[in-house]
Structure 1
Amino acid sequence: MPGARITAEGWGWRHAGRPAAAVAGLDLTVPAGQRVLLAGPSGAGKSTLLYALAGVLDPADESEETGRLLVDGIPSRELRGHAGLVQQDPETQVILSRVGDDAAFGAENLRVPRELIWDRVRDALDAVGLGEEHGISLCRDTSKLSGGQKQRLALAGILAMRPPVILLDEPTANLDPAGVLEVRDAVLAVVQRTGATLVVVEHRLAVWAEHVDRLLVLEPGGGISHDGTPGQLLSPGPVREALAAAGVWVPGHVPAPTPVNWRSNPAHSGAESGEKRATSDLQLQGGRGREGTTAAGPGPLSAHRLLGASGLSVSREPLRPGWRRRFTPVPEPVQRDLDLTLQAGEAVVVTGANGSGKSTLLLTLAGLIPAHAGTLTAGPALKGERGTRLAEDPFRWRAADLVSRIGTVFQEPEHQFVATTVRDELLFGPRHARDPRTGHRLFTDEEAAGRAQALLEALRLTALADVNPFTLSGGEKRRLSVATVLAAGPEVVFLDEPTFGQDALTWAVLVGLLRDLVAEGRSVLAVTHDADFAAALDARVIELESAA
């Protein structure tokens, strides 16, 4: 099926409960088959436009629409199924329990002939790196896939549909560097073969800039600020400088971290920062580096050590199977025999290919899932004076003991929201935070309110203080999820993909907040593919090898 023409005539959309429109006065024509890269600051309405083109926004739910948005001259809501949409959060697009069935779901609903579906599914899965040759069978349980693998699966389902319009909302955000190129090339191959119209939203423009016909930059709450070819807009000159100043990730420009005038925890004793580590510490299975060198073990427990792991193996599968699996073999860990430490006042970044167990390792170190094997030991600097009787392994701590010492930012921000407004979400942690040394509240109500307001202002969330966190954009949700953990002032913060969905300006603020945290003597461990983030934090890098 050839591509479709997209037309916007004074189109705008205001979400329910919002005083201002996400998009307003948009006039746009995209010829059939054109490849468009859609950019703009976080919260500029990029995802809203994609959802509208996919026909999944409904003005009947107290939202308000103005103007017209047409696909081949027909209102987009009347052509559902005409466009394939990969959303920001891949969790929301996994429907069925087996990889093959999930990839075939869209094509089946479009009534693609059965004899064509499975050839399309296999081609699509191979193209995105989830085929049989990559060790992923059609029967693989989708719940066992990593976040990046689920992102690839969502894209495979769209490619198998072969729709006339392909809409991608940050399709490479959670992918390893090799996966980014693999997925991009898979999309371009399908577009080349089918002639589909492509609209892709991406903050990091460099991946797509040389492969699209047109770059559109949305103005927050308004229309289009810039429209031209990537060569015209990104070449050295005043336009490029203006885009960078607005927060667009122009290729080759990395913003400096933004200092934030707030203190993470005024009650903190100000432990001295740990000794600076090497910028790269390749940590692979069996504790051996890529070049054959043995990674350093945990060593003797120091006064500033927060966590030490020895011979650690990690898995999300329970080590002791329940009665339904009493006769099945013990599950294999996704990573084994890891030795690592986390000192007070240091930043550590964990990276590696999708599916290598990065998020599983993070959750294990954070005390949220048990270790499969080996030992995990919390040091006195993490336990505090009142924690001398705590177990060595944080997984055995009570929730109250854990949350006052360790803060965790999950890969999916929605998994940690507990309040009905953004402001209350930020107040929840400080109101419940207790000093592990004394047991007293860390913050008065006035201090908690001040911390919440400071974070709202720093992270550009002030105008959204009274809205429901679940209605934010993907980038706004990510900033809020990080802020809710920082607001409570834990000793160590674990973050899974902390810079997802951020424009250059909000990225710089997040990095500035975390740098201040480390400067105070607290520690940060982040799972990320963002090399600029690791460099800005002067982080020690641990790279996990893919499981055999």
Structure 2
Amino acid sequence: MTSRVTPADVHASQWSWRHAGREMPAVANLDLEIEPGQKVLLVGPSGAGKSTLLHAMAGVLHPDEDVESTGTLELNGQPAYGQRGIAGLMQQDPETQVILSRVGDDVAFGAENLGVPREDIWPRVHDALAAVGLDVPLDHSTSRLSGGQKQRLALAGILAMQPGLLLLDEPTANLDPDGVLEVRDAVLHSVARTGATLIVVEHRLAVWARHMDRVLVLAPHGGITHDLPPAALWNDNALRRELAAAGVWVPDFEYDDAGSPPAAPSISVAHSSVAENSEPLLAALDLSVSRESPRKASLFRRHDPKRTPAVTGIDLRLAQGEAVSIVGHNGAGKSTLLLTLAGLLEKHAGVVKAGSGVRGVLASADPFAWKAPELVSRIGTVFQEPEHQFVTNTVRDELAFGPRHAVDKTTGERLFTDEDVAARVEDLLTRLRLSDVADANPFTLSGGEKRRLSVATVLAAGPEVLLLDEPTFGQDANTWRVLVDLLREELAAGKTIAAVTHDTAFSEALSARIYRVGAES
């Protein structure tokens, strides 16, 4: 049975933080009081400093000579930095929180490091896994979990620690609709049992707001602009309009093309013109896919269990100018399918075939047989974890990398001149609101900024087929609209888009055909 904990209080006085190499502070002049046991929803536009503030509360931001930190930020009357065991932080990217190779060991890791008695740890592990709905054996490999399952795993590890301050950074962003409610309810049930203080960062407010005590709104590079009772998000029309204009996803707000980006039902959508019986740009025929290689086990893996495909019997054709949303529950194999279509994973069985409109003069129709320069200008892939595709030291260089290496399909010559590359980079920086971080290291961006950059790096190279994994993750309403508009333009230009997504508004905005993977949960 879960025991009560000592809930933490949070105090900030004129606290500011500027990351190394940045001109503007992530958070400035923050004054804040959070009472023990309160449930707080922290919102604001992408890049407003929400994740920075959570990391600071978790005590993991080091105030060294390369950063600028002023004012005070305290937990239970002591500086937040370096405190141990008070706060549990779930980061935006759950991949960064997977430590051990087996699910049970990973969930137990935090509690073990806090010195929880062994006889208490494993009951906590079982309770936490059940609470978040991660129904896998304790010895299940963490490397075989989907992105959404890793989110559940990260949350389970924090719940098992039973911290006095629970800090969750977009905890439901990559979950299927049922999983969103399941995980939210698990969090609320946990804090009800333990009495812990809860701070949640989310862009989509409707799921959480009615269950919280306060809603705090952060301004970019500033402090708190609003400290609200949740009911104000529904009852105060002037406030609702103000927040919507700032990019906050206000519950039940009717957006339109003239203002902030809309929820899909109220916008004019793109309509792809797909010729009947035309050759698909990319097709999967009776395809079986898996994250593990179908080839014979290596010397070091000869005792591996038989490799079983994650998904079988896939038949999917992507036509020119068409948008397709790949949907299904977490763990169904959606991302694995996308990476196989992209030529980045080897198929287990069946066929992956690029049409002549993509392949050009290449001998093989199978993208897995292509070299990197042949892929970059033909099929562009956005990974579920943006960091997995960053290869340079600045945002500007990251955007330039793809078009610099893109080659003409028929001649093999560079597709873009240096002047073309510079123009494409500047256009994308401006449109995706990344100009202020053009010289920053991509790994230091906020989660929403990383996602926009990862999409932009693919668009910059001009491929015919765009394969996107959760492209709207971490976006406020304004940046969501920017991404949707850019992708509509790609469709209008005859490009093809396939996206793994749980964002139904995104699918509707692109008039996407739905392709479902796996049984419904």
Q: 1:493 aligns with which of 461, 466, 473?
A: 466
CA distance in 1, matches of 2:110, 2:258: 43
Q: Determine helix, strand or coil for the equivalent of 1:59.
A: coil
Q: What runs of 5+ residues in structure 2 fail to find an aligned partner?
A: 260-270
Offset at residue 546 of structure 1 (A): 4.5
Q: Determine helix, strand or coil for the equivalent of 2:368.
A: helix
Is contact 1:427-1:452 (8 Å) kept?
A: yes
CA distance in 1, matches of 2:430, 2:65: 30
2:77 maps to what in 1?
A: 73
Offset at residue 57 of structure 1 (A): 0.2
Give per-residue Cα distances to partners, 1:267-292, cap 9 Å, x unaligned. Answer: xxxxx964289xxxxxxxxxxxxxxx
1:356 aligns with 2:332: yes
CA distance in 2, matches of 1:160, 1:231: 32
2:319 maps to what in 1?
A: 343
Q: 1:532 aligns with which of 505, 508, 511?
A: 505
1:51 aligns with 2:55: yes
TM-score by length of 2: 0.94
Give per-residue Cα distances to partners, 1:399-433, cap 9 Å, x unaligned. Answer: 22222201001111111111111111111111221
Offset at residue 233 of structure 1 (A): 3.4
Q: 1:473 aligns with which of 432, 446, 469?
A: 446
1:140 maps to what in 2?
A: 140
Q: Determine helix, strand or coil for the equivalent of 2:159.
A: helix
2:414 maps to what in 1?
A: 441
Give per-residue Cα distances to partners, 1:374-397, cap 9 Å, x unaligned. Answer: 11111111112x33xx21211112
Amino acid at match of 1:317: E
Q: 2:285 aligns with which of 310, 330, 351?
A: 310
CA distance in 1, matches of 2:305, 2:195: 48
Offset at residue 255 of structure 1 (A): 4.7
2:94 maps to what in 1?
A: 90
- Equivalences, count: 505
CA separation of 1:431/1:328 partners in 2, compared to 1, >3 Å: closer, same or farther?
A: closer
1:453 aligns with 2:453: no
Give per-residue Cα distances to partners, 1:74-122, cap 9 Å, x unaligned. Answer: 1111423210000001011011111011101111111111111110110
1:162 maps to what in 2?
A: 162
Q: What's the RMSD between the two structures over aligned residues?
A: 1.8
CA separation of 1:345/1:4 partners in 2, compared to 1, >3 Å: closer, same or farther?
A: same
1:100 aligns with 2:75: no
Q: Determine helix, strand or coil for the equivalent of 2:211.
A: coil
* Superposition pairs of residues 480-519 of structure 1, within 5 angstroms: 480-519=453-492
Q: 1:332 aligns with which of 302, 308, 314?
A: 308
Amino acid at match of 2:336: T
1:200 maps to what in 2?
A: 200
1:115 aligns with 2:119: yes
Amino acid at match of 1:370: E
* Superposition pairs of residues 144-223 of structure 1, within 5 angstroms: 144-223=144-223
CA separation of 1:61/1:173 partners in 2, compared to 1, >3 Å: closer, same or farther?
A: farther
Give per-residue Cα distances to partners, 1:96-149, cap 9 Å, x unaligned. Answer: 11101110111111111111111011000001111xxx3x01111111111111
Give per-residue Cα distances to partners, 1:511-531, cap 9 Å, x unaligned. Answer: 100010001101111101000
Q: Structure 1 vs Structure 2: percent identity of aligned residues? A: 63
TM-score by length of 1: 0.89
Give per-residue Cα distances to partners, 1:491-524, cap 9 Å, x unaligned. Answer: 0011111111110000000010001000110111
1:383 aligns with 2:359: yes
Q: Determine helix, strand or coil for the equivalent of 1:337.
A: strand
Offset at residue 69 of structure 1 (A): 0.5
Offset at residue 322 of structure 1 (A): 2.2
Is contact 2:470-2:502 (8 Å) kept?
A: yes
Tell me which moved more, 339-348 or 246-255: 246-255
Q: What runs of 5+ residues in structure 1 fail to find an aligned partner?
A: 260-271, 278-299
Offset at residue 2 of structure 1 (A): 2.6
CA distance in 2, matches of 1:358, 1:371: 14
1:284 maps to what in 2?
A: none
Q: Determine helix, strand or coil for the equivalent of 1:79.
A: coil
* Superposition pairs of residues 246-257 of structure 1, within 5 angstroms: 246-253=246-253, 255=255
CA distance in 1, matches of 2:298, 2:390: 30
Give per-residue Cα distances to partners, 1:185-238, cap 9 Å, x unaligned. Answer: 110011001110000000000110111010000011111111111112342511
CA distance in 1, matches of 2:254, 2:68: 37
